Every structure is written in structure tokens, then in C-alpha cells.
Amino acid sequence: MTRRELLRMIGVTAGSAVMYQAMSSLGFAAESNFKKPIRLQGAPRGASVLVLGAGIAGMVAAYELRAAGYKVQLLEYNARAGGRNWSIHGGDSYTELGGFTQRCQFDAGLYINPGPWRLPYHHQGILHYCTLLGVPLEPFVQVNNNAYVHSSKAFGGKPQRFRHVHADYNGHVAELLAKVTQSHKLDGWVTKEDQEKLLMSLRTTGALDKNYAYVRSRTSSERRGYDIDPGGSLDPLAVPSEPIALGDLLDSDLWAMINAGDDYDMQTTLFQPVGGMGQIGKAFARELGTLIRYNAKVIDIHQDASGVTVTYEDTTKPDSRFSARADWCVNTIPLSVLSQIPMNVGTPMADAIAAVPYAAAIKVGLQFKRRFWEEDEQIYGGITYTDLPITNIGYPSTGFFSRGKGVLLGAYIWGMNATEFTAISPAERVKTAVAYGSQIHPQYAKEFDNGVAMAWHRSPFTLGCFGLWTDEARQKHYNNLCQIDGRIVLAGEHASYIPAWQEGAVTSSLNAISRLHQKAIATGAKA
């Protein structure tokens, strides 16, 4: 079984959060190595660089190379900057492969991030550019103990509060370990003194009673919540809640959904730009101004001994042909698209480009007539996880207590489920997401207003969500992908060890342009 097949199975059975956790543990995600801002100096007099793609990697490259003194041109397929850094607001329209056009009908100020939607605190590269460009940030709620975990096969399909499953799993495990310790089964591994300390810690961390049992009590209810909460004056007395039995908990598989927030990339604090993730792309676009040529679809890339010539068409003028030329080229076009564009590079790079498939993923944004998740269920931000094909429901981390309409992330679908969703129209995807979500939130049927569904593998500018490397492919092709071939260097999340994150795009771009700058200096002045 390949890693890709394993991850697909994990995603199908346990959801995208658990799949990403598996990705991290298997080496698909890694820590950012960004330490400080780059400082390129001494660009050869008159030297020029052509950057392909105005996503995060391309705009970082253009920004830093311009600062270093290069003449920079940037070609972008879309009519906007940002690439996968994108927020869909009311009034926006988008046409996917196959010709389906969606026009978002969200109310003013509401949006969905079809691509990246959170910024980990240790992704200092992308956070640096947010600060540099004046993009205000706010907290992103990853873990909400009052959200749900849901299995269609357990508890009669009734969703369970995250805090119940989290507290009960930890409590039962702590009780089992305490029993093992008390029966002297650890004598060969742990000293008597340390066993006493272990029992003390288990009683605290597992919310156990004086007999080291995890049972219905005030102690356990301080973790999982009460049937009747403590009140004041002549309110009824608090009533502790009954933990879920260990056997029922294990059979439900819900324990597989409670650890996403423990993963390094999901640990607090996370952030989001105020007004949507697309604010980063917009800020870069304002800074770069006329350096960006929009609606430019690259159709040929040719390098020679003195430079690189790119042929492109204006997507607003079918069959038009234009060209741009520079001494050097930073190519950030996703490999799924780049593999279809003629480019005269050596066999090692060409083979590497062809070796990386892209993940299938869909996000569905749903607008409701009121924020019922807050008003009815006291869920403020965070994520509900489910074994249904929608995999999760994301609650907005902004606009708390607002009156009027609100937008949920109604589905974040991966793998085979995403492929199946692609087979139906966007309207049917939205309808299906509402039907699935109604199993968790019965309010859906009455409160639903409108929605949009973005299928990344039907996106003409990416043909997928992000690059999917295997160990074998990385060993054979990764270095060849990242090497400078003549006058061309590639950059993007696909050329990083942090795939699927904007930080991968930032660190890849900075490394690529640093090496290209050194080669330009070594080559001398403008060719």
C-alpha cells in the first residue's frame, strides 16, 4: 500500500483532520525554517526577472527581487492576485472547468476561504509579510470543546459534544493506567516513588475520584460539563453528567477526531486575516501594482543562453498572443498545470514536474439566515468533525454575537469523496452538503439561505489543491525539481517540505530567489 492510498483510506474513515495528522506524522508536513527577513543586495545592473504566477510564492519573489534592484514582470492567469490565497464574497463570480459559473450571494461582509483559512503561530514567514504589508490579523479558533464530533454509525447518529468525548477518553485511559500501576504491573519499568507521582498526575489529568476511578462526579463534570450547570441563589443544585462508557466510546471511533488541535500545525495560537484570507493577496497586489499583468495565460516557456521568453494569451481576448522576456525566470505555476505547458528544461526537472499528483479537495460555503450555532448551541468558532463525506463543519471565528446572517464552512472534502462531489453540479454539491449537515444541525433545513462550492481539481489555474509527494517521489525527484535549470527556477508549496501551507510557498520562494540571485551575480551583468 502506498502512502497516498493509506492517507486516502484514513481520510475516508476518520476525516480530513485525522488524515492531516497522519500526513504530519508520515513526514508530509514539517516545521518552517523561516528565521528572519531576506536581504538580497547587489543585483547586476539592468538585470531582469520574469515571475510566473501571482500566488504567494510569486508575489514574495517579485517583492524581494524588486527590492534587490531587478526589473520584474509578473504574469498571472486570473484577474486577481493571490492564487489559492482567496476569499469569495458576495458579488464574486467564478467559472470552473466544464463551464459551471457560480455567483456568490453572501451578504456584505460575509465570505468563505476556499483555499487556506488559518495561519499557525510558528509560520513566521507568511506572518512576516502580513506585518510588512499591514494586513490585520485576528485569532482563528481551531479547537472548540463545545463543537461536535459525529459518527453516523454511533449513538443513533446523534452528535456528541467535543468536550464529552475528549474528557471521557482521557478519563478512561487515565483510570486504566492507574489500575495497571496499582496492580504493580509497572514495577519493572517505573520506580515506586515515580509510580506514586504517576498516580497523582493521573488523578489530576484524568479527573479521577479518590479511588482513581473515572465516574459521574463533580470532578469529571468540571471537564465534560454538567447536566444542570451550577447557578446562583435558589437555582437548582448542579447535577453532574454521566460519562460515556468506555466500550461505547471505543466502538464509536469518535476518539479519532479529538486530537487535531494537538498537531503542531494546528496548535494555538492560529490567526486569520480580518476580512478573509484573500486580504493577503490583495495587499501584495497593491504593493506590486503594475508589475502584475493579469489575465495572462502562459502557453509556452522557452529559455536560451541569454534569457527566458514566455508566450501568453490574454484570457479576455481569445487567440491573442503576447510575449515577455527577461534574463531569469521564477516559475511558481502549480505542477499540475505546468506539466501541460511546453518548457525546454532538462529531463531531471521535466520528470520531477510530471511526478507529483495534486490532491482533490472541495470546500462548500453556506450562508444561513441567522447564526443558530451561536444562538442555539453556544458554538463560537472551532470545528465539528464527522464521518459523513463533508468531513467537517467550520464555524466563523469572527463576528461573534452578530445579528443577521452568517456563513459556515459547510464541507471540507478530500480524496474519493471530493472526486464524487465533483461529478455533480455546484448547486447539487451545496444541496448535498446541506442534507449531510442537517444530520448534525437540524436547523439547516429552515435556516439555509444560499451557498457556493469550490472544487479545486476543477480549478483551471491549479487543477488540484496541493502537491502530493510520496517518499519515493521526493527521494527521486525533489532535488531535481528545486535545482536551477539554466535560467529557470521553480517555487511554490510543491517545492517545499510544508505542502498545502502558505508557509511552504514563502520559504520555497525565498530559497529559490536567493540561489537565483547568487547565480545572477556569478553570471555577471545583464546578458
Residue 340 has pLDDT above 70, yes or no: yes
Distance CA 471, CA 463 (A): 22
Residues facing 322 on adjacent strands: 312
Give the gyration radius of the chain's Cα atoms. 26
State pLDDT tens for residues 393-438: 999 999 999 999 999 999 999 889 999 999 999 999 999 999 999 9
Within the chain, what is the greatest distance between any pair of CA atoms? 87
pTM: 0.93
> 320 is written with which cell numbers?
491573442
State pLDDT tens for residues 163-214: 999 999 999 999 999 999 999 999 999 999 999 999 999 999 999 999 999 9
State pLDDT tens for residues 484-520: 999 999 999 999 999 999 999 999 999 999 999 999 9
Following DSSP, what letter does each residue of 466-495 receive, concatenated? SB---HHHIIIIIHHHHS-BTTEEE-SGGG
> 201 is written with which cell numbers?
498526575
pLDDT of residue 37: 83
Residue 15 has pLDDT above 50, yes or no: no
Q: How many CA atoms, within 13 angstroms, populate the side-chain half-sphere of residue 438?
A: 11
Q: Cα separations (Å) of 282 from 53, 56, 65, 278, 504?
A: 14, 11, 19, 6, 19
What average pLDDT does range 141-169 have in this prediction? Answer: 98
Phi, psi angles (nearest 5°) of residue 37: -60, 150
Residue 288 neighbours by CB distance under 10 Å: 19
What average pLDDT does range 135-151 have in this prediction? Answer: 98
Domains located in the chain, CATH noted:
31-78+282-357+471-523 (3.50.50.60), 88-146+268-279+359-458 (3.90.660.10), 160-252 (1.20.1440.240)
Residue 18 has pLDDT above 90, yes or no: no
Sequence-ordered list of residues with C-beta below 8 angstroms from that of 392, at least 6 positions apart, any chain: 15, 16, 17, 383, 384, 385, 386, 409, 411, 412
pLDDT of residue 30: 56
